[in-house]
């Protein structure tokens, strides 16, 4: 009787969160109608498949570095191309780099870590290499997208010229020093989900894990942006992005909870992905990692052990110190003004240095 009641309660909560997703997307459309939607660079879809699409952009020099951008599968990928003044895609194009953006879509509940870090990334990388003629390419990943990109790089080292990590969690634990992602994931009964985890449910869990980052600091950022028109425009575009909920695949969540948050399997060298072993120690490409010492979601302690473990001595560590107008500081490396003024020009130079 208790099991049946718990199952019913889980289903009712699931349906309510699905409804909240629809309501939040509607609120996001209102912000877009007010002029705060994404202002993306012209592009075209290179490939489409269930769960993921690959976007290409206007021509850059044919000899420029080639990079695949890997977002987190939590919300829409246009955070990388939010508006011309805070667009990673635009900075790369301006620097002569040829970017491709992987766009996650509504997932199959059975899609697991192997689908994200191996199958989808393999297909995207193959399409990019086929179009550009490059034998190997760069990858850049933000948040969980960085974890996927690192795992892929360990599985297929010959395909990866170098990796850029932006606030990407690689080392997991249940202590606060390892970041707020782990404690949330390992304390939830994910098996009770009747389908994918609704975005609004993840939002609630995120607030529980890091209430300041998703609550008071976000409100403070709005207040600080009031007298800065450009900062306020970015803040409201980030808010619109936050409302554009994308559910997380149930199998992916279970894999992350069991293999990453619970066992720290990638750092321990015991991770099995599509029948192959993926280990941080097998990562052999040049590495550019960006950390934010103030970020409770992905603090340096979640990133630095990976840098120590990676085999290639060609490693660069950069610090992101925050911006006004980014809403959630965790996304600041992608949309912050200081990031676009100093960090991305440095990344572009690094890409060219390792391309020639």
Distances (CA, A) of 342 to 124, 260, 321, 348: 29, 32, 11, 10
The four Cα atoms 330, 153, 66, 321 give a dihedral, to 10 degrees, of 20
Name 149's Cβ contacts closer than 8 Å, sequence gap at least 6.
Answer: 68, 70, 117, 121, 139, 140, 141, 163, 165, 168
Domains of the chain: 2-353 (3.40.50.1820)
Reduce the DSSP state of residue 139 to 3 states and report it.
strand
Reduce the DSSP state of residue 55 to 3 states and report it.
strand
**Which parts of the chain have pLDDT scores under 70?**
1-10, 60, 174-192
Question: What pLDDT score does 113 carry?
Answer: 96
pTM for the full predicted model: 0.92
Question: What pLDDT score does 24 carry?
Answer: 87
Calculate Rg over the CA atoms of the chain.
Answer: 19
For the chain, what is the mean pLDDT? 89
Question: What pLDDT score does 245 carry?
Answer: 84
Both tokens of 325, joined, read: 């107008």
Question: What pLDDT score does 211 carry?
Answer: 78
C-alpha–C-alpha distance, residues 288 and 177, integer Å: 22
Tokens 């979601």, located at residue: 297
pLDDT digits 0-9 by tens, 185-239: 444 456 667 778 888 787 777 777 777 777 889 999 999 999 999 999 999 999 9
Question: What pLDDT score does 338 carry?
Answer: 96
Side-chain-side CA neighbours of residue 234 (13 Å): 32
C-alpha–C-alpha distance, residues 297 and 202, integer Å: 13
Question: What pLDDT score does 174 carry?
Answer: 56
Question: What pLDDT score does 186 carry?
Answer: 42
C-alpha–C-alpha distance, residues 334 and 101, integer Å: 13
């Amino acid at each position: 009787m208790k099991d049946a009641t718990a199952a019913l309660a889980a289903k009712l909560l699931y349906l309510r969160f699905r409804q909240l997703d629809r309501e939040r997307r509607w609120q996001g459309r209102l912000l877009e109608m007010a002029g705060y939607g994404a202002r993306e660079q012209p592009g075209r879809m290179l490939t489409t498949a269930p769960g993921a699409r690959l976007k290409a952009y206007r021509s850059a020099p044919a000899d420029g570095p080639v990079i695949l951008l890997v977002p987190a599968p939590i919300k829409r990928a246009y955070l990388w191309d939010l508006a011309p003044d805070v667009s990673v895609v635009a900075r790369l194009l301006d620097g002569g780099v040829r970017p491709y953006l992987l766009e996650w879509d509504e997932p199959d509940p059975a899609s697991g870590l192997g689908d994200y870090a191996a199958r989808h990334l393999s297909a995207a990388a193959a399409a990019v290499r086929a179009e550009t003629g490059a034998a190997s390419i760069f990858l850049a990943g933000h948040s969980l997208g960085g974890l996927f990109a690192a795992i892929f790089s360990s599985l297929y080292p010959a395909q990866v010229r170098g990796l850029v990590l932006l606030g990407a969690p690689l080392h997991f634990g249940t202590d606060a020093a390892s970041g707020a992602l782990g404690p949330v994931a390992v304390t939830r009964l994910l098996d009770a989900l009747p389908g994918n985890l609704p975005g609004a449910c993840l939002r609630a869990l995120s607030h529980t894990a890091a209430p300041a980052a998703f609550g008071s600091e976000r409100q403070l950022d709005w207040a600080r942006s009031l007298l800065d028109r450009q900062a306020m425009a970015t803040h409201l575009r980030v808010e619109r992005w936050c409302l554009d909920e994308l559910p997380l695949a149930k199998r992916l969540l279970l894999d992350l909870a069991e293999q990453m948050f619970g066992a720290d399997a990638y750092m321990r060298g015991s991770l099995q992905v599509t029948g192959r072993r993926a280990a941080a120690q097998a990562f052999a490409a040049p590495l550019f990692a960006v950390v934010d010492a103030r970020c409770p979601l992905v603090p340096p302690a979640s990133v630095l052990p990976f840098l120590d473990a990676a085999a290639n001595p060609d490693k660069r560590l950069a610090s992101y110190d925050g911006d006004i107008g980014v809403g959630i500081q965790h996304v600041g490396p992608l949309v912050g003004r200081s990031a676009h003024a100093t960090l991305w020009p440095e990344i572009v130079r690094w890409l060219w240095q390792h391309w020639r």
